[in-house]
Chain A
Amino acid sequence: MFIPCDRGGGSAAPDFKGFTLLMPAVSVGNVGQLAIDLVISTLDMTKVGYFYTDCLVPMVGNNPYATAEENSTELSINAEVYSLPSKKLVVLQIRSPFIKNKYRPFCETLLSWVKSSKCARVVLLSSSHAYQRDDEQLLGTPLRYLLTPDLEKAVGGRMQELNWKEMEKVAAYPGISDTDKVLHIPGGGITKLLFTESCSKGIQMAVLLKFCSEGDNIPDAFVLVNYLNEWLQLIKSEVSTSNNSTDPSSQWKIPSSWRLLFGNGLPPALF
């Protein structure tokens, strides 16, 4: 599945032992994917390979993180892997939807790659339909987390310190009391499947998600990536002197491919 980039000179495949794998779920508003774009762009991560998979709709374009003429002509496809060894971080970006009936094969192949490459843990960025929230979820923070039992032992305490809210389980049969509570992540794509599979395979996985709706999801991406940063500290949040608050939003670099997200310029003749 994973094909390393040919960096010339017959260099060996990259080693991800002990790394944190950060990846998005293709979910409502594409918030996870937008947040990953911000991480890759800000940390100026190097592409180390891609996934050769028949599970995603094919697409190709030029470098979405180009900053100048010289680096704009590298081709980019639907599932690519970037790495930052100094932070022991490896990032998978997914750029197209799943093909029908391919969710499960992709999850299985991905998790077996996680095991074989000996990644320490997986952090999945996702989102869920805001309109499916119950009365309690409508109040307070729209951000939630989930931890597999193996990761709960390691970082559960940190989540308490950060005062984060765990994703609530809902009744399997709404309206009927004392039924089993189940995990329900509407609009989350492969989130629930990956999470439940990781639980059963003993993989350390954390899910960070935001309730949102389709629309301009750039602000949602910023909120989610700042949430991630509270825990992983990927960038330093500088204290702003003007209002004495820590707001790291301005330190995330928007990639050049985010231009024209909502259409072209207007024809002058319209006015």
Chain B
Amino acid sequence: MATFFGEVVVAPSRAGLDEEEEAREETPEDREIRREIEKKRYGQCCSGEIDVLWTWKSGGCAEEPLVCSRFIVAIGRNAAAFLSSFILDSVCWEVVGVVKLWNEWCRTSSTTNVLPTDSFCLFYRLISDPTVLLCQCSCYVAEDQQFQWLEKVFGSMQKKGLQVTILSTCPVADYKTQESTLTLASPFLKALKTKEFQDPVCCPLLEQPNIVRDLPAA
């Protein structure tokens, strides 16, 4: 592609193709080296690896799944702040878990004593009904960690009769609509639900062509 100034540049593709990855031909030696590096990274719980630490588990092998009837997940700073302001308090809720992860954008630690400005991912349980679980995830979970996050968190749960509610925010500018978003009354709520969810929804459903991505989608 020629730019305005006449230089020829490689056009970035909307399809998300990584040119270097496509051009790189791996020899068996390269493959072996890459495998060794991956073993080190994921074996050492540094970049890429996710750890979910529950307060009641001593780390033994026979770990029973957590019985959970309601799981509310708040993803992103706004949703996490909503829970902090309106739902969470130290009287009714207790911390039961924390996610430890690292990526190029943020790092969380295993401490449960966090400031609102920190990046963290904590789990709370309602003291009066211990099957109600809440997750506040203000850190960014990278693309290649989302699946792992999901498997590790839901893997610790007994999923029968479980109802999951996901709270998240998106910029109004990303909302696709016939009118301009300038004239739209914001903020506004939209929802997506599975067909198994039979309770009434408190707001309209998200119309096509709008979609949800990243951890809320996962």
Which A residues are within 8 Å of any B CB, using their own CB? 26-30, 54, 57-64, 66, 72-75, 77-78, 96-103, 129, 131, 186-189, 192, 213-214, 256-261, 263-269
Residue of A nearest to B16 (CB): A97
Q: Are A57 and B143 in contact, CB atoms less than 8 angstroms apart?
A: yes
Q: Are B209 and A261 in contact, CB atoms less than 8 angstroms apart?
A: yes
Q: Are A192 and B22 in contact, CB atoms less than 8 angstroms apart?
A: yes
Is B128 at the interface (CB under 8 A from chain A)?
A: no
Q: Are A59 and B211 in contact, CB atoms less than 8 angstroms apart?
A: yes
How many angstroms between the C-alpha atoms of A189 and B22 in the bound complex? 7
How many angstroms between the C-alpha atoms of A263 and B214 in the bound complex? 21
Q: Are A101 and B218 in contact, CB atoms less than 8 angstroms apart?
A: no
Is B158 at the interface (CB under 8 A from chain A)?
A: no
Q: Are B213 and A259 in contact, CB atoms less than 8 angstroms apart?
A: no
Q: Are A28 and B17 in contact, CB atoms less than 8 angstroms apart?
A: yes
The stretch that binds A, out of B7-15, B49-57, B129-137, is: B7-15
Other than the given A58-B217, A62-B192, 18 more pairs (CB < 8 A) read A30-B15, A57-B213, A58-B215, A60-B217, A61-B208, A61-B210, A62-B205, A63-B208, A96-B213, A99-B144, A187-B15, A187-B17, A213-B11, A214-B11, A259-B176, A261-B209, A263-B176, A265-B178
B211: which of A60, A98, A102, A261 is its contact (CB, 8 Å)? A60
Q: Are B205 and A73 in contact, CB atoms less than 8 angstroms apart?
A: yes
Q: Which of B181, B208, B211, B218 has the most CB of A within 10 A?
A: B208
Is B84 at the interface (CB under 8 A from chain A)?
A: no
Is B85 at the interface (CB under 8 A from chain A)?
A: no
How many angstroms between the C-alpha atoms of A214 and B143 in the bound complex? 24
How many angstroms between the C-alpha atoms of A60 and B108 in the bound complex? 27
Q: How would you classify the secondary structure of chain B's contact residues: helix, strand, loop or mixed?
A: loop
Q: Report the count of interface residues on B (CB-CB < 8 A).
A: 42
How many angstroms between the C-alpha atoms of A103 and B26 in the bound complex? 13
Q: Within 8 Å CB of B175, what residues of A?
A: 264
Q: Within 8 Å CB of A77, what residues of B?
A: 217
A187: which of B13, B182, B217 is its contact (CB, 8 Å)? B13
Is B21 at the interface (CB under 8 A from chain A)?
A: yes
Which B residues are within 8 Å of any A CB, using their own CB? 1, 11, 13-19, 21-22, 143-144, 146-148, 175-183, 192-195, 205-215, 217-218
How many angstroms between the C-alpha atoms of A75 and B183 in the bound complex? 28
Q: Within 8 Å CB of A269, what residues of B?
A: 182
Residue of A nearest to B173 (CB): A264
Q: Are A66 and B181 in contact, CB atoms less than 8 angstroms apart?
A: no
CB pairs A–B below 8 angstroms (11 shown): A59-B213, A60-B212, A60-B217, A62-B207, A62-B208, A73-B205, A75-B194, A189-B15, A257-B209, A264-B178, A264-B179
Q: Are B205 and A260 in contact, CB atoms less than 8 angstroms apart?
A: no
Residue of B nearest to A104 (CB): B26
Nearest first, the 6 closest Cβ-Cβ pairs linking A and B are A97-B16, A54-B147, A61-B211, A58-B218, A267-B180, A58-B217
> What is the CB-to-nearest-CB distance from A39 to chain B, in angstroms, rounded to a whole number?
18
> What is the CB-to-nearest-CB distance from B35 to chain A, in angstroms, rounded to a whole number?
12
Q: Within 8 Å CB of A58, what residues of B?
A: 146-147, 213-215, 217-218
> What is the CB-to-nearest-CB distance from B196 to chain A, in angstroms, rounded to a whole number?
10
Known: A264-B179, A265-B178. A101 touches B209 (CB 8 A): no
B18: which of A61, A66, A100, A258 is its contact (CB, 8 Å)? A100
Q: Are A103 and B21 in contact, CB atoms less than 8 angstroms apart?
A: yes
Residue of A nearest to B147 (CB): A54
> What is the CB-to-nearest-CB distance from B165 to chain A, in angstroms, rounded to a whole number?
15
Q: Are B208 and A259 in contact, CB atoms less than 8 angstroms apart?
A: yes
Q: Within 8 Å CB of B21, what residues of A?
A: 100-101, 103
How many angstroms between the C-alpha atoms of A259 and B214 in the bound complex? 22
Residue of A nearest to B21 (CB): A103
How many angstroms between the C-alpha atoms of A1 and B147 in the bound complex? 14
Q: Are B14 and A260 in contact, CB atoms less than 8 angstroms apart?
A: no
Q: Within 8 Å CB of A214, what residues of B?
A: 11, 13-14
Q: Within 8 Å CB of B205, what residues of A?
A: 62, 72-73
> What is the CB-to-nearest-CB distance from A49 to chain B, in angstroms, rounded to a whole number?
15
Q: Are A266 and B17 in contact, CB atoms less than 8 angstroms apart?
A: no
Q: Within 8 Å CB of B22, what residues of A?
A: 186, 188-189, 192
